[in-house]
Amino acid sequence: MFSRAARQAIDGSSVWQAVQTASKAAETVMIKLTHLSGEVFVLNADLIRYVESRPDTFITLTGGERLVVAESMDEVMRRAVAYQQAKHLIPAPAAPDGCATRPRIAEGA
């Protein structure tokens, strides 16, 4: 996004921290999926209306547009739930007794 010189010039400044925060926020808004052609793309998970499996996985967006993806319906749901957890809209599962941290869902490929 920025050249090395630009990063060094603003490194440690509030501007650079704001850019990093915005980049992390953008990552949590999107889920990575794959078209049937193999092309990887990112989708704003807030736009998902519903997901169908027939046998390909169809995602219908809030605007009515339909996408066909290579991932299974369960995988799309897992990634969408992980996205919601990242936004803190759905709490992550409680940690098992004796564990210091809660289990996390790994980011999909």
pLDDT tens digits, 32-42? 999 999 999 99
pTM, to two decimals: 0.57
- Poorest-confidence range of 8-17, 44-53, 94-103? 8-17
Asked whether residue 79 is assigned to any structural domain, the reply reads yes
Residue 13, in any domain of the structure: no
Phi then psi for residue 4, to 5 deg, are -60, -40
Q: Is 67 contained in some domain? A: yes
Beta strand 40-44 pairing with 48-53: unpaired
Is residue 45 a part of any domain in this protein? Answer: yes
Total domain count, the chain: 1
pLDDT of residue 6 exceeding 60: no
Of the pLDDT bands very low, low, confident and very high (cuts 50, 70, 90), residue 86 is: confident
Q: How confident is the model at residue 26 (pLDDT cuts 50, 70, 90)?
A: very low
Task: With respect to residue 46, please indicate whether it lies within any of the assigned structural domains.
Answer: yes
- Tell me whether residue 48 is in a domain: yes
Give the β-pairing of 66-69 and 48-53: unpaired
Residue 37: give the domain boundaries: 31-86
Q: Is residue 92 a part of any domain in this protein?
A: no
